Amino acid sequence: MSKERASASAGRVGSGEQVAGSPVATDERTITLELFRYHPETDAEPRFQSYEVPYNEDWVVLDAINWIKDHVDGTVTHRWSCRMGVCGSCGMMVNGEPVLTCAAFLKSYFPFAVRVEPLVNFPVERDLVVSMDGFMDKLEAVKPYMIRDDVNDTSGGEFRQSPAELAKYKQFSMCINCMLCYAACPVVGHEEGFLGPAALALGHRYNKDSRDHGRSERMDVMLSDEAMWGCTFVGECSVVCPKHVDPAGAIQQAKAMGAQEYFKAFVMPKGAGA
């Protein structure tokens, strides 16, 4: 892979040079960012391009990428939105680790260079942007929404739930679909049919919801072949999750639920899985 060093201007940026919405540099020091570049219409293959960026210990990697885009190279393409760890848009590989770039501070890497790449296990659309199509298909497959015949019937008021019932699934509902767990999971890269950590955790979240009646529909998908059983409990999904969801735990619980249904099907062939 060719590696091109671009001579990008560095140094202090005064307030007069600030681009609206762009972070302001306040330090004389610089840090090197090596960005993965790939424009499918012109590039035969991906390459890395280096930029010298003003170092500010309050900056996160996303600030540095935004600074590059605003001051040096407007062709850099990346996905971001909230800058506060809520939207899940800015997940990238930083020095080989899947992280939200809005939560990865430059001071964790300074003075060494920071290499930023798109999330692995996903097709790259352009530069740091990956295609989410496959992930969305998997997410849709597990029906991550409330299923019940009277879901639109509000005549009886809210569908009430006790704190204990809420506690059974609450942590799994914290997922922001940032896809870091897919980049961290080795099985996602090997097994096409594996639904992956976030989709399985969200499917399990609704299966555990006392108000939901759609467990059987979801289990049709989750119990098939390698959709869930491909997980070998590596556990990296839970390690990298920025919202402290435990997808690995959700998958193990869902497997136990599936195994119960499997054996129940022998005892009660017509009544299992309801």
- Asked whether the beta carbons of 210 and 161 are under 8 A apart, the reply is yes
Query: Which helix (H) or strand (E) segment is 185 a member of?
Result: none
Mark out the alpha helices in 142-196 (DSSP H runs): 163-167, 180-184, 186-190
Mark out the alpha helices in the chain (DSSP H runs): 61-71, 133-141, 163-167, 180-184, 186-190, 197-207, 215-222, 226-229, 236-240, 247-267
Residues from 137 through 196 that contact another protein (CB under 8 A) = 137-138, 141, 186-194
Question: Mask: binding to another protein, 205-224, rule CB under 8 A, as x and -?
Answer: --------------xxx-xx
| Total of chain residues touching another protein, rule CB under 8 A | 45
- Asked whether the beta carbons of 54 and 12 are under 8 A apart, the reply is yes
> Which residue type occupies 36?
F
Tokens of 116: 């930023």
Question: In this complex, which beta carbon is closest to another protein, that of residue 13 or of residue 187?
Answer: 187
Q: At closest approach, how far in Å is the CB of 238 from another protein? A: 18
Tokens of 90: 């800015």
Got the DSSP string for 48-60? EEEEEEE--TT-B
Q: Which of these ranges, 57-65, 70-78, 158-166, 256-264, lies near another protein under the rule CB under 8 A?
A: 256-264
Q: Which of these ranges, 55-63, 169-177, 240-248, 258-266, lies near another protein under the rule CB under 8 A?
A: 258-266
Residues 188 and 180: their CA atoms lie apart, in Å, by 11
Q: At closest approach, how far in Å is the CB of 4 from another protein? A: 16
Q: Which of these ranges, 18-26, 158-166, 200-208, 225-233, lies near another protein under the rule CB under 8 A?
A: 225-233
Q: At closest approach, how far in Å is the CB of 218 from another protein? A: 11
3-state secondary structure of 67: helix
Under the binding rule (CB under 8 A), the answer on residue 123 touching another protein is yes
Q: At closest approach, how far in Å is the CB of 115 from another protein? A: 13
Residues from 230 through 249 that contact another protein (CB under 8 A) = 232
Question: Burial of 76 by CB count in 10 Å (0-12 exposed, 13-18 middle, 19+ buried)?
Answer: buried
Q: How many other CB atoms are there within 10 angstroms of residue 120's CB atom?
A: 16
Question: In this complex, which beta carbon is closest to another protein, that of residue 46 or of residue 249?
Answer: 46
Q: How many other CB atoms are there within 10 angstroms of residue 23's CB atom?
A: 20
Question: Mask: binding to another protein, 33-72, rule CB under 8 A, as x and -?
Answer: -----x------xx--------------------------
Work out which of 85, 235, 249, 273 binds another protein, going by CB under 8 A. Answer: 273
Q: At closest approach, how far in Å is the CB of 166 from another protein? A: 27
Q: At closest approach, how far in Å is the CB of 143 from another protein? A: 12
Under the binding rule (CB under 8 A), the answer on residue 28 touching another protein is no
> Which residue type occupies 215?
R
Question: If we measure between CA atoms, which residue out of 220, 206, 199, 221 comes closest to residue 159?
Answer: 206
Interface with another protein (CB under 8 A):
1, 38, 45-46, 118, 120-124, 130, 133-138, 141, 186-194, 219-221, 223-226, 229, 232, 255-256, 258-259, 261-263, 265, 273
